[in-house]
Amino acid sequence: MRLGNKVALITGAASGIGRETALLFAEQGAAVAAVDLNEAAVTALVAEIADAGGRAVPVIADVSTAPGCEHMVAMTEQTFGRLDVLFNNAGIMLSDDGDAISTDEGVWDRTMEVNAKGVYLGCKYGIPAILRSGGGSVINTASFVAVVGAATPQLAYTASKGAVLALTRELAVVHARQGVRVNALCPGPLRTELLMKFLDTEEKRQRRLVHVPMGRFGEAREMADAALFLASDESSYVTGTEFLVDGGLTAAYVTPE
C-alpha cells in the first residue's frame, strides 16, 4: 500500500482526473475526502470506493469560496483526524474561452475564481492541516498550456494554469523546511469530458493532437498514476516541480535555455 495510513483530500473528485485519483488513492490505502459540487456523482464515487473495501467521505464544497475550502478541510480532519495529501485538482474550461479579443470578462473572472483562486484557498486552509499532521504533499493541477500555450485559444484557462504554476513554485520554497512538498501536475491533452467539450469538432481535436509526439490523448488514469507518485513517500525529495505528463508535447516545442 503506497498510501497506507494517509488521508487525502481531492477536489473535483466526481469526474476525470479527480475520480480516477480518488479510486487509485483509496486502492493504495488512503482515506479519501472526495470534494465536488456534484453531490450525486461524488456520493456514487464514495459508494464505489466503499464497495471495493476503501474508506472515503463525500464533501460538497465550492472551492472558489473561502467558506467552501475551510469546510472541506474541516470535514476531512473531523472524519479522519488528519490531512496528509491535498490534491487541488478542481478546474473548469469554458467553451467560450478564446483569445483576448473574444473572451468575455465574465469568462475570465469565473475561470480565475475556480482554477487559480480555488488552488490558493485550498492551500490557505489545507497547508495548516498538513502541518498539524507533521507534513505531507500538496499537488496542484496545472497544465502543459502553462508552459507552451494552447494551439486552440483558451486565454483565461491558460493564464489561470500559469498562475497555478507560479503559486506552486513559491509555496514549495516557503514550506520546504516544514516538511510540506508542493508540486504542480501538468497534464497534456486528455481524453476527458472537460477537454472533449472544449475541442468539440474533429478539426479542433486534430489541431491539438498533431502536437503530441505520442499521437494520442492521455487518459485520466495516467494522471492519477502520476499524482500517486507525488502523493507517496517515493517523491520525498521532489518539490517545486512542474511534473509534465504530456506524451512528449513540451519536449517537442520547448527550446532549452
What are the catalytic residues? 157
Query: What CA–CA distance (Å, rounded) separates 232 from 74?
Result: 23
Residues 6+ apart with CB under 8 A from 237: none
Cα(89)–Cα(109) distance, rounded to whole angstroms?
18
Q: Are 197 and 95 in contact (CB under 8 A)?
A: yes
d(CA 217, CA 36): 25
Cα pseudo-dihedral 160, 166, 167, 168, rounded to 10: 110
Residues in the chain: 257
Answer yes or no: are the C-beta atoms of 29 and 3 closer than 8 Å.
yes
Helix (H, G, I), strand (E, B) or coil at 96: coil
DSSP letter for 190, please.
Answer: B
Which of 118, 119, 88, 84 shows the shortest CA–CA distance to 8? 84
Is 244 buried (19+), middle (13-18) or exposed (0-12) by CB count in 10 A? buried
